[in-house]
Amino acid sequence: MSYSDVATALYEFWNSFGVNAYPEETIPEDAKQPYITYEIVMPEWYGMATYNAKLWTYSTSFKQVFSLAEMIRQAIGEGKRIPLKNGSIWLFKEENFFQIMPSEEITQKNAYLSMVIHVLA
């Protein structure tokens, strides 16, 4: 298992929700909301790490961000296994999985998702 394998699997998972997803710090200048940003994290095989994603929506209503968060919550369930060539990634929701992020813009409704990631070889 390589960092590239983990990055590819995370890309595929986060882009499976009907909106574009980007690793943090790689958002194209012309990106249109809604979109997801996520971390690329690879803890040692025996450990877990805190893992986060953010939902970005352009709306005056919370409906879109709630809907997207609910799709992700259901996909993770009690734990989401993401297969790799020689192992797997496991995502688990933290107790405070969903949090609205403050915004000064009335047209921004954004959320922060808190998880734990475990990569098994």
Q: What is the mean pLDDT of residues 24-48?
A: 90
pLDDT of residue 1: 65
Digit-coded pLDDT (tens) for 56-112 = 999 999 999 999 999 999 999 999 999 998 889 999 999 999 999 988 888 899 999
Q: Mean of the pLDDT values across residues 24-40?
A: 95
| d(C-alpha 102, C-alpha 26), whole Å | 22
Structural domains present in the chain: 3-120 (3.30.2000.40)
Q: How many whole angstroms separate alpha carbon 75 and alpha carbon 78? A: 9
